[in-house]
Structure formats: C-alpha cells, structure tokens
Amino acid sequence: MATEHGYNFTDQADQKDFLHRVKVSIEESKKSQTMIFGKRTESLFAYVAGALGKVSLIKQEDFGDIYYSGEELLAPDYRLTFDDNEQMLVEVKNCHHKQPTNKYSINKGYYSKLKTYADLNGLPLRFAVYFSAWNHWTLLGIDAFDEHPNSYTIDFGRALAMSEMYLLGDCQVGVAPDLELHLLADPQEEVPVDEEGEAKFIVKDVKIYCDGEEVTDEEEKKIAFYLMCHGDWVESEQEALFQNGKVCGTKFVYSPQDQTEPNFALIGRLSQMVTNGFREHTIKDGNVVAMKLGINPSSFGILIPPDYKGKQLPLWRFVIHPNPDFEGIIDKEAVQ
C-alpha cells in the first residue's frame, strides 16, 4: 500500500490515511461471503495437509513480491514438501455446487499462469478442490478435468474418482459400532435428582466402549474419542447411568446412520475429520469468525499410527487411489 499510494512513513497524514483505508477494506471484506469462505478454505487446506501425516513442510507460496522477466505468471497458494523430500505446488479452490453433476470450472488463462510458475520451479501442480456441500476434499491434476476451448471442467463424481488425496495420507476409516462415551461420578458421592429431573455431578472418570467392549488402552481411547468428536456417526442416544438406584454418570452413544454390516461401518475420511475440527474453531452460528489459527497444523494430526493394530478398537483403513477409467455418475432419475 505504501508503494501504491506513495506513502511517506514519517508523515502523520499518510499514517492516518493508511489506517482509514485498512478500516474501510475490512468492512468491505466482511460483506463478501464468497471471499471470506474462500480465504478460510485456503487456510483450512494447510491444516488438512499438515494433519494427515505425509507432509513435513507447508509454505505459503503466493506471498510477497515476485519479479520475473518473462510472460505473466501466478504463484499457487502452497508449496508442500513430503517426508521423502518430494515437492508439489497446490492451488486451493472452494466449490459450493449442491448437485453432483454440476461442473466446476477453471479458466485456461488462469491455469496457464499457474503452470508457468510451476514449470519454472520444475514442480507438479495440483488443485485442491473442496466440495463444501459434501465436506469432501479432492486433489487433482489438470488431466483429471475435461478440456474445453476456454476452460477445464470437472464434476463431483469424477473429482472423487480421480482424487490423489492419498498422497497426503488421507484414507477412509471404518470401526465396529457403536462407540460409547461414559462420564462417571465419584462412586462415594451422593448424586441427588432434583424436582426438575436433573442431577449435577463432577466427572471423576471417563470410560469408552467399542461394540460393547471397554477400550482401556490410552492410545486407543484417544483415537476413539477423536472419531466420536469429528467422525460422521451421530449421537443416537444419551441417558443417565444408575447403580443401586442412584445416578452414577451419563453415557453418549454414537452410531452410523446407515448400518449394513453387524460389526463394521465407515465413520469418515481423515481429511473430513480435520475439517470438522477446524470448523469448530473458525465458524460460529454459521458465520466465519476466524480464517487462521495460531497453532501448528500438525496439532490437528490424526492419532492413528501407521502400524496401528487395535486391541479393543478395531480399525479399517481404506486408501483410495485414482481411477483413470472412471466414466461418470449415472443419473438414476434420467434412467428411470
């Protein structure tokens, strides 16, 4: 701004003008929900990439001045460095389409500027497209898109089929239902029930159950708690616990919405769980209250070790690779 407006740092009038412009800019930005949610999604991707376990360094690439003597270029949002020192440039996009067959579009001229920058750095370029209606992240090369004279397009189904999120460490997680959280009072304390049917107590112990079996291993308890907090299962039951006619605690039961197998159900993708956790810190009552968090993205890390073998918490992890032969989603209504 100092360069654009010719500010003199020692001039009081210029300082006041700077503060005024910043204030006006903030007020105008608050009115643009598209910009606000877009910037939040851009920040969110850093936490997703940092939490999934395969990326050791994340750098904001489109920050600061760029001096280049050639054709016009554009720096992507992030540079990722993986554990094996391989690198990738990523441009983050937010898609709000509610119909899976609607096309998401990238302008060819826009892509060309990003590609020029990637080629100069000798690095592959990917688009991280977040489909907000389904809370779903995809990582896509331009070859996943359909090419048109002035744009590249892709729908939700093809984006899922062609996604390379596994490169970041993403996977689908399954576990044996149900998961239960028991908050227990001190057994030596009297927990009376008042006239309104409420009982107040101080939690002295926490127990977690999976498929009716208590999870006692501390690492497994942390994983189970994370899945309950951020997974797709819903709180199907909450009830008081009684012992010898007295309230001894309360339990919360988390169950899959669609159960087809007796001892297995998917509970969500790791990237979705990180996104759910980030949402709790940045969105209140449907409004964005923060775009970044002052913590390392690795703090959102999933607690499941690569060599995990559960004792009381059996987990299934499905690593989804892209399907280059995918032809598209069949429109069932059109077929009928």
Q: 41-50, 200-209, 233-242, 292-301: which range is least confident on average? A: 292-301
Predicted confidence at residue 156, as pLDDT, reads 95
What are the pLDDT digits (tens) for 245-294? Answer: 778 889 999 999 887 777 899 999 999 999 998 888 777 777 777 767 77
For residue 26, what are the contacts with CB-CB under 8 A and spacing of at least 6?
A: none
- Rounded Cα distance between 336 and 334, Å, is 5
Length, in residues, of the chain: 336
Q: Which residue has the higher pLDDT, 336 or 1?
A: 1
Position 198 pLDDT exceeds 70: yes
Torsion of CA 119, 120, 125, 130, to 10 degrees: -140
Average pLDDT estimate for 108-124:
97
Predicted confidence at residue 298, as pLDDT, reads 67
Pick one of 3.40.190.10, 3.40.1350.10, 3.90.1310.10, 3.30.70.980 as the CATH number of 8-168: 3.40.1350.10
Position 331 pLDDT exceeds 50: no
- 192 exposed, middle or buried (CB, 10 Å; 0-12, 13-18, 19+)? exposed
Q: Considering only CA atoms, which of 174, 183, 279, 280 is closest in space to residue 233?
A: 174
Instruction: Say which residue the tokens 């002052």 belong to.
Output: 294
Predicted confidence at residue 32, as pLDDT, reads 60
Q: What letter does residue 300 receive in the DSSP assignment?
A: G
For residue 317, what are the contacts with CB-CB under 8 A and spacing of at least 6?
A: 171, 172, 173, 174, 304
List phi, psi (to 5°) of 40.
-65, -40
For 209-260, what is the HEC assignment? EECCEEECCHHHHHHHHHHHHHCCCEEEEEEEEEECCEEEEEEEEEECCCCC
Give the DSSP letter string of 118-153. Answer: HHHHT--EEEEEEEGGGTEEEEE-GGGSEE-SSEEE
What are the pLDDT digits (tens) for 290-306? Answer: 767 777 766 666 678 88
Predicted confidence at residue 214, as pLDDT, reads 97
- Rounded Cα distance between 142 and 152, Å, is 8
**Torsion sign (Cα): 75, 270, 222, 231:** positive
Predicted confidence at residue 8, as pLDDT, reads 86
Average pLDDT estimate for 152-178:
95
Predicted confidence at residue 335, as pLDDT, reads 33
With cut-offs at 50, 70 and 90, classify the pLDDT of residue 29: low
Q: What letter does residue 298 receive in the DSSP assignment?
A: G
What are the pLDDT digits (tens) for 33-45? Answer: 666 767 888 889 9
Q: Which residue has the higher pLDDT, 332 or 11?
A: 11
What's the whole-number average pLDDT of the chain? 88
Other CB atoms closer than 10 Å to residue 166's CB: what's the count? 16
Predicted confidence at residue 46, as pLDDT, reads 92
Give the global pTM. 0.84
Predicted confidence at residue 34, as pLDDT, reads 65
Predicted confidence at residue 301, as pLDDT, reads 67
Position 229 pLDDT exceeds 70: yes
With cut-offs at 50, 70 and 90, classify the pLDDT of residue 68: confident
Which token pair is 117? 């920058």
Position 336 pLDDT exceeds 70: no
Other CB atoms closer than 10 Å to residue 110's CB: what's the count? 13
Position 81 pLDDT exceeds 50: yes
Distance of CA 308 to the CA centre of its chain: 22
Predicted confidence at residue 302, as pLDDT, reads 67
Say if residues 300 and 291 touch (Cβ distance below 8 Å).
no
- Rounded Cα distance between 172 and 155, Å, is 21
Predicted confidence at residue 70, as pLDDT, reads 78
With cut-offs at 50, 70 and 90, classify the pLDDT of residue 48: very high
Alpha-carbon distances, residue 220 vs 97, 184, 317 (angstroms): 37, 19, 15
Q: 43-57, 69-83, 163-177, 257-271: which range is least confident on average? A: 257-271
Instruction: Say which residue the tokens 């903030």 belong to.
Output: 26
Average pLDDT estimate for 169-178:
94
Which token pair is 85? 């020192």
With cut-offs at 50, 70 and 90, classify the pLDDT of residue 206: very high
Domain with CATH 3.40.1350.10 in the chain: 8-168
